[in-house]
Homo-oligomer: A and B are copies of this chain.
């Protein structure tokens, strides 16, 4: 796919940004920080009404038949607005997992709900500190699914989860319905992420993909979610870049705009560099994935996007607050919404070190 956005894609970028900004409400987002187990219903209603939930799903299942490029553009808009619900990314991940399986019945049962947003899906791959353990401890047997998955984004509200587990000793992507006894919500520093620990004990679950294909599928799902997240990080970093620039132009110290001091001026210029490099990596990565299946270099491209976007958002959060001085650390100014989100997104889909190691393995064949 091309590295240049076509008109339709540019329209999605503009429109989603317009809508996300218009419906975002800082006071509401700030309030959510102090309310465990809640999310921004206005945003989620918007995402469903705008068809963002359906964007990258096949038309056969009520989707719009677009792809990662378009979903990435929407994620950039929601990232800029520090959107108050995390369901788009895992919804897409779960859909890809379903599509990579070959169970027509399961697809027909769940994909339309994911497309409409009626069904909230979580992706529960991680165990311990690994976003995708070599041999998960979660087990699927004749009795059902048994195992624990810590800190799953969206799981406090999700109806289903795609779980990375062992089925008869083989790695597998497994789909389970989440009931309240399965989840223990977690209070976090970014509460609208709907975090919960999941614990299944002989819960009913179906295999989506199993064996060697499952490992490849799991990597593909995680990499696609990482690319969506990278777009979200770029959106957040770019929003901060503009906030910092605008403040540096208006705020005065010692009789001149603080943007005239090189410590401020050059720092903002460096942010521009980080944002543009991450954006370019995101566009490239998104262009390497197809409706299902990806180019051979997709993992590398996804890792590059993930790494540069994480660095960009973290640096932008640190520096934009610093550029603001005292006003930058007040609750009301709300720059900490970005700082908290930057940390959430740096950890969801696996931290920098994990992606560095994956990338180097892809580049050199040498495992960490």
Q: Which residues of A does B touch, CB under 8 Å?
A: 261-263, 266
Contacts and interface: CB of A to CB of B under 8 A. Distances in A.
A154 to B, nearest CB: 36
A262 B265 CA distance: 10
Looking at chain A's contact residues, the main secondary structure is helix
Nearest to A263: B262
A263 B269 CA distance: 12
6 contacts: A261-B262, A262-B262, A262-B263, A262-B266, A263-B263, A263-B266
A261 B262 CA distance: 6
Q: Which 6 A-B pairs have the closest CB atoms?
A: A262-B262, A262-B263, A261-B262, A263-B266, A263-B263, A262-B266
How many copies are assembled?
2
A266 B261 CA distance: 11
A262 B264 CA distance: 9
Contacts of A262: 261-263, 266
Contacts of A261: 262
Contacts of A263: 262-263, 266
A263 B262 CA distance: 6
Contacts of A266: 262-263
A362 B266 CA distance: 40
A266 B262 CA distance: 9
A33 to B, nearest CB: 34
A253 to B, nearest CB: 12
A266 B266 CA distance: 12
A258 to B, nearest CB: 11
A15 to B, nearest CB: 40
A263 B261 CA distance: 9
A262 B262 CA distance: 5
A83 to B, nearest CB: 36
Nearest to A260: B262
A268 B262 CA distance: 14
A261 B264 CA distance: 11
A16 to B, nearest CB: 37
A293 B142 CA distance: 66
A336 to B, nearest CB: 26
